[in-house]
Amino acid sequence: MESPLDPAPLGTATHNLFEDLIARSMGERGLAAAATLLADLEVHHRDLGAPTAPDDLARWRNEVQRRMVGLWEIENPDEIDIVSSELHVNVDLDGIKP
């Protein structure tokens, strides 16, 4: 069984945080907004299986935050006009189906 502190679950938690962040309007996606979302991430996404022990939960949030701030090194989500997200694409590549 994976720990919520393993890389894949932390990536999933960060992805959920980004999804919540980009659901906000442009101008409402700053670092402060992301930090607010992170403070309640395990409440709004119970399926993440966040730790319940206070020290582990604090470590989990710290790890998600560390990954989260990396986005601002690439681009500022507050300045991006989001058209859509999580589009399902179904293609056949030379007979290889999804």
The arithmetic mean of pLDDT across residues 62-66, rounded, is 96
Q: How confident is the model at residue 98 (pLDDT cuts 50, 70, 90)?
A: low
What is the 8-class DSSP label of residue 40?
T
Residue 63: left (phi > 0), alpha (psi -120 to 50), or beta? alpha
Taking only the tens place, the pLDDT of each residue in 4-62 is 999 999 999 999 999 999 999 999 999 999 999 999 999 999 999 999 999 999 999 99
Q: What residues are paired with 60 via a beta bridge?
A: none
Sign of CA dihedral 62, 73, 76, 48: negative
